Amino acid sequence: MRQTLSLYVPGNSFVHKVSPLTKLLFVMVVVISSYLLSSLPSLGVLFLLPIVLLLAAGVFRRTLPIYLVSLLAILTILIVQGMSYTGNHTLAFELGVFSFYQEGLVFAGRICLRLLILISAFSLIIFTVDPEELVSSTVRIGLSPRLGYVILSVFQIIPQMMTTVATITDAQRSRGMKTSGNVIARLKGIFPLIGPAVMNSLIATRERSMALEVRAFSRKGQHSFIREQRKYLGGKVLPVCLWLCLAAVIAWRIFEWLR
């Protein structure tokens, strides 16, 4: 199996067989719809859509740490808005001296659901889209190769830094540096990692730019592709359906405004 320096998880599910551009369009439709719709049930449905796809792709477990990190933000939003939202009138419940209101909790629920929708939708891109295929597909439809390189770098920067830090940590441990123990010992171990990590990143950037220039990356004209364009599940049908869904959401929102 081909190893890639990214968070992409290879698989044979129908989600993996869909075009990267179609998945990007799906994320765009879901995110835009989450801001056009305001009812909690509709936002809940939008949240479940990427969750179902993540489960079908077999990568949902990898998203759990992201949800755990966002849990503190969600609790903070619920507490602050539930007590101090400017439109609070209807008392929902009390916890000792703290009073929570229905209007604030509903408003906070919308914010939290939209946050979860963003996390779920972009997790679908991160874990089920091969960055190389994504860049290849976007360049084929006319995107600048330079912008495609930037997109590829964004997908690879976190795994690359993790790999670099792990390598440097092992090297420093072999020299007797302590990286475990109490908080003070851990903080002392951070500083010897910063310098080598930054220098390694600068050197890697320079080497990558030289490698690209050797391959005539900056030349003008049409570029060639090392990969043949593969056929994806859904073809042109899925993008049309997604555009129709977005149009329906926009029409429904306009209807609600005019009613």
| Residues 242, 122 share a domain | yes
Burial class (CB in 10 A: 0-12, 13-18, 19+), 79: middle
Domain count for the chain, please give it. Answer: 2
Candidate ranges 90-99, 117-126, 141-150; pick with highest mean pLDDT: 117-126
Place of tokens 């889209």: 129
Assigned domain for 10 exists = no
Amino acid at 44: G
Write out pLDDT tens, residues 57-81: 999 998 998 899 899 999 999 998 9
Write out pLDDT tens, residues 101-141: 888 999 999 999 999 999 999 999 889 988 878 777 777 77
**Is the pLDDT confidence value at 1 over 50?**
no
Assigned domain for 2 exists = no
| Residues 110, 30 share a domain | yes
CB 110 within 8 A of CB 37: no
Write out pLDDT tens, residues 208-224: 777 766 666 666 666 66
What is the rounded average pLDDT for all residues in the chain?
81
| Residues 187, 240 share a domain | no
Write down the pTM of the prediction. Answer: 0.75
- Its domain, for residue 237, covers 20-129+229-258
Q: Which of the pair, 7 or 48, is modelled with greater confidence?
A: 48
| Alpha-carbon torsion, ordered 170, 176, 180, 182, to 10 deg | -150
CB 145 within 8 A of CB 223: yes
Confidence of residue 180 (pLDDT cuts 50, 70, 90): low
